[in-house]
């Protein structure tokens, strides 16, 4: 008798398990939510391309999620994904990468992709630190925190990345934490379904290289704090900067229809091909 097989194993590259995430890491939770979201949507992973960069969370799809996968250079997954999506608009193209990758070194690609409103789903796992390299300050690290490259405390304010992406023009933007797994799962499904640029900022934990410097030794410590810090966007609206200090605003930040980049590009191509056919009297 064969061993019972988990319903999600079809979405995971079983041959390279066990995974390399540290104990208490949030990446496993994100992989869990993502595979459930994909299964729930009824997507065939053969019709998906996952693109990621360099960093711990880039390992969520690369190599653990079983689809065509492009594990790119640091910070560039959105640029690579742009080429894939233009060629194959029929495929579901998802970028999963970290805050250092997407908002640090690759920040320029993020805002331009949002501006273009290209039909990609970008799930940015924000652990507020450069974890893979051992805990250096990130553009998302709160001010005042001690890291290996801010040993006398961080003097920079962090990016609120989801808000930045709303301002840049994305179709769908949300923020959740690894504590809010079910809303995150549903939000991932909505992001994939929404035609246009979709972005979810997933606040996640790195007990190993961030938590131990701020007194949160375990994944559970982080989840408790996320639960306390979380504030629904509906409640946060109208509150002052002071009141929102140290809070994590969660929920859907925007969801709107806008012309989508790849469709518009292909419309131009269709029009030009048709025009040419007319000019050449059908000879083309």
Partner 1 sequence: MKKHRTSPTTDSRYKPARPFNADEFGRVRRILGGKVLFVQGDAAVAYGALLAGCRFFAGYPITPATETSEILSQLMPRVGGVCIQMEDEIASVGAIIGASRAGVKSMTATSGPGFSLMQENIGYAAMTETPCVIVDVQRSGPSTGQPTEGAQGDIMQAKWGSHGDYELIALSPSTVQECLDLTIEAFNLSETYGIPVILLTDGIIGHMREKVVLPEFEEIELTWRREPTKPKEEFQPFLVDSTKIPEMAIFGTGYHTYITGLTHSETGYPATDSQVDHHRLVQRLCDKIRDNRDRIVQVERDYSDGDKDTIGIVSYGVTSRSVNSAVKMLRQDGLKIDHLRLVTNWPFPEKEVAELSERANRIVVPELNLGQVYHGVREAVAGRSEVIPLWKTGGEMHVPHDIVELVKGGVK
Nearer to partner 1, 68 or 221 (CB): 68
Q: Is 66 in the site for partner 1 (CB under 8 A)?
A: yes
Q: Tell me if 223 contacts partner 1 by CB under 8 A.
A: no
Q: Does residue 9 bind partner 1 (CB under 8 A)? A: no
Smallest separation, CB 269 to partner 1 (Å):
4
Q: Is there binding between residue 13 and partner 1 (CB under 8 A)?
A: yes
The pair of structure tokens assigned to 239 is: 């509150």
The phi, psi pair for 52, rounded to 5°, reads -145, 170
Considering only 45, 127, 204, 209, the residue that binds partner 1 (CB under 8 A) is: 45
| CB neighbour list of residue 187: distance below 8 Å, 6 or more residues apart | 174, 176, 200, 252
DSSP string for residues in 243-281: HHTT-EEEEEEEE-----HHHHHHHHHHHHHHHHHHHTT
Beta strands 172-177 and 248-255 are: antiparallel
Please count the residues of this chain forming the interface with partner 1, following the rule CB under 8 A. Answer: 61
In this structure, the strands spanning 198-203 and 248-255 are unpaired
The footprint of partner 1 on residues 189-218 (CB under 8 A) is 192-193, 195
Which is nearer to partner 1, 239 or 276 (by Cβ)? 276
Would you count residue 37 as binding partner 1 (CB under 8 A)? Answer: no
DSSP 8-state assignment for residue 137: -
In the complex, the residues that contact partner 1 under the rule CB under 8 A are 13, 15-16, 40-47, 49, 51, 62-63, 66-73, 76, 79-92, 108-109, 112, 119, 192-193, 195, 262-263, 265-273, 275-276, 280, 283-284
């Amino acid at each position: 008798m064969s061993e019972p097989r988990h319903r999600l194993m079809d979405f995971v590259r079983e041959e390279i398990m066990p995974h390399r995430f540290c104990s208490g890491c949030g990446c496993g939770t994100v992989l869990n939510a993502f595979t459930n979201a994909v299964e729930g949507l009824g997507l065939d992973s053969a019709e998906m391309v996952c693109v990621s960069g360099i960093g711990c969370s880039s390992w969520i799809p690369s190599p653990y999620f079983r689809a065509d996968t492009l594990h790119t250079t640091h910070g560039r997954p959105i640029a690579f994904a742009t080429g894939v999506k233009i060629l194959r608009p029929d495929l579901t193209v998802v970028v999963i990468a970290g805050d250092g990758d997407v908002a640090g070194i690759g920040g320029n690609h993020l805002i331009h992709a949002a501006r273009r409103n290209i039909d990609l789903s970008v799930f940015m796992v924000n652990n507020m630190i450069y974890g893979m390299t051992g805990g250096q300050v990130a553009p998302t690290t709160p001010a005042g925190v001690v890291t290996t490259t801010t040993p006398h405390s961080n003097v920079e304010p962090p990016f609120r990345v989801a808000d930045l992406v709303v301002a840049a023009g994305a179709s769908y933007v949300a923020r959740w934490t690894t504590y809010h797994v079910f809303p995150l799962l549903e939000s991932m499904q909505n992001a994939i379904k929404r035609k246009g640029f979709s972005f979810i900022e997933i606040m996640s934990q790195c007990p190993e290289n961030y938590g131990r410097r701020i007194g949160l030794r375990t994944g559970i410590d982080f989840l408790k704090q996320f639960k306390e810090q979380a504030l629904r966007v509906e409640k946060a609206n109208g509150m002052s900067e002071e009141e929102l200090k140290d809070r994590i605003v969660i929920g859907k930040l925007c969801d709107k229809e806008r012309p989508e980049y790849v469709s518009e590009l292909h419309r131009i191509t269709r029009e030009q091909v048709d025009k040419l056919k007319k000019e050449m009297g059908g000879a083309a």
